[in-house]
Amino acid sequence: MADRHIAIVGGGFSGTALAIHLARGGHAGLKVTVIEPRDGVAQGVAYGSRDPAHRINVPADRMQLTAAEQGDFDRWFRASAAYDADPAARWQDGRVYPQRGQFAGYIAGLFAEAQRQSPVVLRHLRDRAVALENGEVITASGERLRVDELVLAISHPPPALPRAIALALEEHPGLIADPWRNNALADIAPDESIAIIGSGLTMADTVATLHRHGHRGPIVAFSRRGLLPRSNLSGSFEPRVLDYAVPQKDSALGWLRRIRLEVQLAAAEGLPWQLVLDDIRQNGQTIWQQLSLSEQRRFLRHLRPWWDVHRYRIAPQVNAVLEQWQSSGQLQVLAARLQSITTEGNAIQLDLRSRRGAVRTLKVDRLIVTTGPAHGGLLQSDALLHQLALDGVIQPDELALGIKVNGRSQTINRFGAPNLHLYVAGPAARGRFGELMGLPQVAEHAESVARQLLAACSGPGESGQ
């Protein structure tokens, strides 16, 4: 293998997993640089939280870098001091749900192990990539890196503040626009009243943090449909494998009907619906790519909220908090949209219109925005991506989920041609691949991109972009 240099922009889980796969499969002469401004790798949005209330959403025995390593994280965690220090991680069925930072620590350990054992030169450059010029990546500190292949592992842009909120609450002390910011909720007084816009995973994490802080004030969470993430399955069950050879119409409605039928069949056997969704998820990329673009759009427009709450489930510890506070009345979840917003001193007044048309007025001390990352604005959220988009090197996918790529995860330029040396790893490629947000699909995608890169390094190819 000739000397090659692969740079990975982004050192969250996707970028770190890719780097580990490259180090494991590469040979002497290959250099891999992970460009990541945080002080460590694997600390992206998903696993960078240091809040002890934030737990992985699936049992530890389902979190792994590769299928061959299933159960390795579970064993690692149980052997660590953190296992004894965190009895709440253990659920009643014997499975464990560690704090998210533990998984980041596990992956960072695999990265360090690869650095020690691999013939590949693997390093973490604590910097930010801001431009690509003539095959060189330029960083914020002014370093210039000559690269043969570049991988964009930038997956989650910052949350977008809804325009009505931005106009009404600019600089207002009661607005918390980004709950993922370190200690964003720390100065909320225990008796303050809170409204949360959004009712998904970030809302659940926010409520878990408030519970840990001993919050006593009322909380109202609202979203257009008022759907809450479902709890993860408790207990041990054999996987339920669907028969995909059964004739199936490749449409959003067709798959909705199929899933409902499969859930009914499972229930008749006394089995939980989660088993059906888990198998659909494992085959999600194949299903997604069989849908036409119009059917993909139909799914996103009509079915995505229901898919999200059934697919992206929460740890039972967090679900218990939500149920406890809903039962006590401290937490209310509404199906409503924001109609208007005004302020009165430090108080925030929200007029919410329910799906049935009734208007409810709330007056709260705090408004927390948990609508999630603004994936549609990914290319404008980062200096490097913005430059590549302006130059026509990359473009958004047709569904506004991320970056347009081909089946090899290579980016597509404005002329519709693939950039043979520029790849995407992780959720930013989900417009093409579909199910590409949680483990193990992200890990599998990182492994697939690694294989593509290693094959390219083994064969002839020109340096640069």
Domain boundaries along the sequence of the chain: 4-54+99-158+374-458, 163-230+313-369, 252-311
pLDDT of residue 187: 95
pLDDT of residue 5: 98
Taking the C-alpha atoms of residue 295 and residue 434, their distance in angstroms, rounded to an integer, is 12
Span between the terminal Cα atoms of the chain, in Å:
20
pLDDT along the chain (465 residues), means of 10: 89 97 96 97 88 93 91 97 97 95 96 98 98 97 97 85 90 92 93 97 96 98 96 89 92 96 97 95 93 97 94 94 98 96 94 92 97 84 95 96 96 97 96 86 94 82 40
Name the DSSP letter for residue 301. I
pLDDT of residue 464: 39
- Tokens, residue 13: 């889980």
pLDDT of residue 465: 40
Residue 377 region, left (φ>0) first, then alpha (ψ -120 to 50), else beta? Answer: alpha
Question: What kind and span of H or E run contains 46?
Answer: none
- Which residues in 389-425 are b (16+ Cβ under 10 Å) and which e? beeebbbbbebebbbbbeeebbbbbeeeebbebbbbb
Does domain 163-230+313-369 correspond to CATH entry 1.10.630.10?
A: no
pLDDT of residue 2: 66
List the one residue out of 221, 219, 220, 215 whose CA is nearest residue 191: 215
Does domain 4-54+99-158+374-458 correspond to CATH entry 3.20.190.10?
A: no
What is the DSSP pairing of strand 331-344 with strand 136-139? unpaired
- 4-54+99-158+374-458 and 163-230+313-369 agree in CATH topology: yes
Place of tokens 């257009």: 224
Name the DSSP letter for residue 302. I
For the chain, how many residues are written? Answer: 465
313 φ, ψ to 5°?
Answer: -90, 170
- Tokens, residue 25: 């499969």
- Cβ atoms of 151 and 424 closer than 8 Å: yes
Place of tokens 């340096």: 463
Q: Is the peptide bond before 440 cis (omega within 30 degrees of 0)?
A: yes
Q: Which residues pair with 159 in a beta bridge?
A: 373
Q: Which residues pair with 9 in a beta bridge?
A: 35, 152
pLDDT of residue 459: 61
